[in-house]
């Protein structure tokens, strides 16, 4: 089921102002089995809009979370970069907060325990909240206590009544997925200890627009955050952003530290980033109006490059059966007429097919077995990691095509 938003999901202002349309697409993470290839796929409008009231960028269509996340195919532990980031972050936070066995760290959308495992190794109590049954099962098997529920005010109140208050709450790449964002923010306030801190990572809308990262738009990502929009959201729920930094994950993300009000003065870089957003005009529709034109230019350029390579008899595959790859391929109309297959490290995806374009998903070893001339790197956000992993393929003459922010070949 889906429904269009006529007003902002955060502040209620309406109507929303259109920014970009990527057409009608299938759900990006609903990979197909061979048996389902002949069946029709549900498609939904993928349109982006801007709220004049609080500056929040959001898609207009709401897909029921139960349809998107109850059974999920993204496992964080298959990314070396994600694991390295998680281990460093857990160690740093544990030292800063002097966490011990009497402290509780909660992660919302905890996936397969990729982050909480490092706190557990340090002797800190942990609790994961992960609605995807298949992924929560993996986390529990590695010893991470995990609730298979959606997080919100109701669950937070229940945990609080059980005496569970978090010294640290992690919410990595989850806030963009939650249509009822006010319930989520209210839940954060309820679950945090009075001196607790929430560490939140969200893709940064500035990077999406400036780098033309339109493939980060899909139905799971309801929101595309600026710091301006986030501070306005949190302030309504007696929360304050006390620090922020820009990190390179996922093409450019904000890592925020959020605490209960009052919490004293914020770090200087919070004010500096807010001022920079104002200077750039990110709190007005004008900033976003050229985005649609730039996206169309990238689409046309990529189609031309691939068409020219095919005309020369070159064989082309793709790397990364991720949601961003589904958006890019379905929007650009690139499928089996151009690409032979897509590879992915996750065995949970191998043997299935990409939604919409129906490309078969194979293990990365297929690149050396089949030796395509070029590989379209759909998961460009892990470029450095993947290029190192595929050094043998590159030494054998294989080349990678990077689609964004403009098409290039390495």
Every domain of the chain and the residues it spans: 309-409
Say how far residue 44 (Cα) sits from the centre of its chain: 19
The pTM for the full model equals 0.89
pLDDT at 19 > cutoff 80: yes
The predicted pLDDT at position 73 comes to 54
pLDDT tens sequence across 124-140? 999 999 998 889 999 99
pLDDT at 200 > cutoff 80: yes
The predicted pLDDT at position 67 comes to 73
The predicted pLDDT at position 185 comes to 98
- Going by their DSSP bridges, the two strands 17-26 and 43-50 should be labelled as antiparallel
Alpha-carbon span 60 to 64, nearest angstrom: 13
Q: Which residue has the tokens 């956000």?
A: 381
State the SS3 of the chain: CEEECCCCCCCCCCCCEEEEEEEEEECCCCCECHHHCCCCCCEEEEEEEECCCCCCEEECEEECHHHHHCCCCCCHHHCHHHHHHHHHHHHHHHHHHCCCCCCEEEEECCCCCCCHHHHHHCCCEEEEECCCHHHHHHHHHCCCCEECCCCCHHHHHHHHHCCCCEEEEEEECCHHHCCCHHHHHHHHHHHEEEEEEEEEEEEEHHHHHHCCCHHHCCCCCCEEECHHHHHHHHHCCCEEEEEEEEECHHHCEEEEEEEECCCCCCCHHHHHHHHHHHHHCCCCHHHHCCHHHHHHHHHHHHHHHHHHHHHCCCCEEEECCCHHHHHHHHHHCCCCCCCCCEECCCCCCCCCECCCCCCEEECCCHHHHHCCCEEEECCHHHHHHHHHHCHHHHHCCCEEEECCCCCEEC
> Residues of 92-106 as b/e, b for ≥16 C-beta within 10 angstroms?
ebbeebebeeebbbb
Shortest CA distance to 174 belongs to which of 123, 232, 231, 131? Answer: 131
> Is the alpha carbon torsion for 256, 243, 194, 117 positive or negative?
positive
| CB distance 220 to 44 below 8 Å | no
Shortest CA distance to 185 belongs to which of 156, 214, 161? Answer: 156
Alpha-carbon span 290 to 28, nearest angstrom: 25
Q: What is the mean pLDDT of residues 139-146?
A: 95
Residue 4 confidence class, pLDDT cut points 50, 70, 90: low
Give the max Cα distance, the chain: 67
Q: Which of 1-5, 34-38, 107-111, 318-322 has the lowest mean pLDDT?
A: 1-5
**Is 160 exposed, middle or buried, given 0-12, 13-18 or 19+ CB atoms closer than 10 A?**
middle
Shortest CA distance to 255 belongs to which of 188, 197, 177, 200? Answer: 200
pLDDT at 303 > cutoff 80: yes
Token pair, residue 259, equals 């605490």
Of all residues in the chain, the percent with pLDDT exceeding 90 is 83
Q: Residue count of the chain, please give it.
A: 410
Q: Which of 67-71, 164-168, 255-259, 263-267 has the lowest mean pLDDT?
A: 67-71
| CB distance 122 to 93 below 8 Å | no
The predicted pLDDT at position 249 comes to 76
pLDDT tens sequence across 63-98? 887 677 655 555 555 577 778 888 999 999 999 999
The predicted pLDDT at position 317 comes to 98
Alpha-carbon span 103 to 321, nearest angstrom: 38
User: Between 153-161 and 181-191, two packed helices, what is the crossing angle to 10 degrees?
Assistant: 20
Alpha-carbon span 57 to 59, nearest angstrom: 7
CATH number of 309-409: 3.40.50.720
Alpha-carbon span 191 to 158, nearest angstrom: 9
| CB distance 378 to 319 below 8 Å | yes
Of all residues in the chain, the percent with pLDDT exceeding 70 is 96
Residue 1 confidence class, pLDDT cut points 50, 70, 90: very low
The predicted pLDDT at position 76 comes to 57
Q: What are phi and psi of 305, to 5 degrees?
A: -60, -45
Q: What is the CA radius of gyration of the chain?
A: 21
Residue 9 confidence class, pLDDT cut points 50, 70, 90: very high
Q: What is the mean pLDDT of residues 187-200?
A: 96
């Amino acid at each position: 089921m889906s429904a269009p938003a006529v007003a902002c999901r955060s502040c209620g202002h309406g109507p929303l102002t259109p920014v970009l349309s990527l057409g009608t697409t299938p759900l990006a993470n609903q990979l197909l089995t061979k048996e389902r290839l002949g069946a029709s796929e549900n498609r939904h409008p993928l349109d982006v809009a801007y709220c004049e009231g609080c500056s929040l960028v959001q898609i207009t269509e709401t897909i029921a979370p139960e349809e998107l996340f109850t059974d999920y195919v993204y496992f964080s532990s298959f990314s070396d970069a994600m694991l390295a980031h998680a281990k460093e972050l857990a160690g740093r936070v544990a030292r800063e907060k002097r966490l011990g066995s009497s402290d509780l760290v909660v992660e919302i959308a905890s996936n397969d325990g990729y982050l909480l495992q490092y706190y557990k190794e340090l002797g800190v109590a942990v609790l994961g909240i992960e609605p995807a049954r298949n992924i929560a099962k993996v986390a529990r098997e590695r010893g991470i206590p995990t609730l298979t529920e959606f997080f919100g005010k109701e669950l937070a109140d229940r945990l609080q009544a059980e005496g569970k208050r978090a010294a640290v709450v992690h919410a990595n790449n989850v806030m963009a997925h939650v249509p009822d964002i006010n319930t989520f923010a209210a839940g954060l306030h309820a679950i945090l200890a009075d001196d607790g801190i929430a560490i939140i990572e969200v893709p940064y809308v500035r990077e999406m627009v400036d780098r033309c990262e339109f493939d980060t738009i899909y139905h799971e990502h309801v929101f595309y955050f600026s710091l301006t929009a986030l501070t306005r959201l949190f302030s309504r729920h007696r929360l304050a952003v006390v620090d922020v930094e820009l990190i390179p994950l996922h093409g450019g993300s904000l890592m925020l530290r959020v605490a209960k009000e009052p919490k004293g003065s914020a770090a200087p870089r919070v004010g500096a980033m807010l001022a920079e957003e104002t200077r750039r005009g990110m709190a007005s529709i004008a900033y976003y109006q050229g985005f649609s034109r730039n996206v169309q230019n990238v689409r046309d350029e990529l189609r031309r490059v691939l068409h020219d390579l095919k005309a020369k008899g070159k064989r082309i595959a793709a790397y990364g059966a991720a949601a961003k790859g589904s958006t890019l391929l379905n929007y650009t109309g690139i499928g089996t007429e151009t690409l032979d297959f897509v590879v992915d490290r996750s065995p949970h995806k191998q043997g299935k097919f990409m939604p919409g374009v129906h490309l078969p998903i194979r293990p990365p070893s297929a690149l050396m077995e089949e030796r395509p001339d070029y590989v379209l790197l759909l998961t460009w956000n892990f470029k450095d990691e993947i290029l190192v992993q595929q050094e043998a393929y590159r030494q054998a003459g294989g080349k990678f095509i990077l689609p964004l922010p403009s098409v290039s070949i390495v």
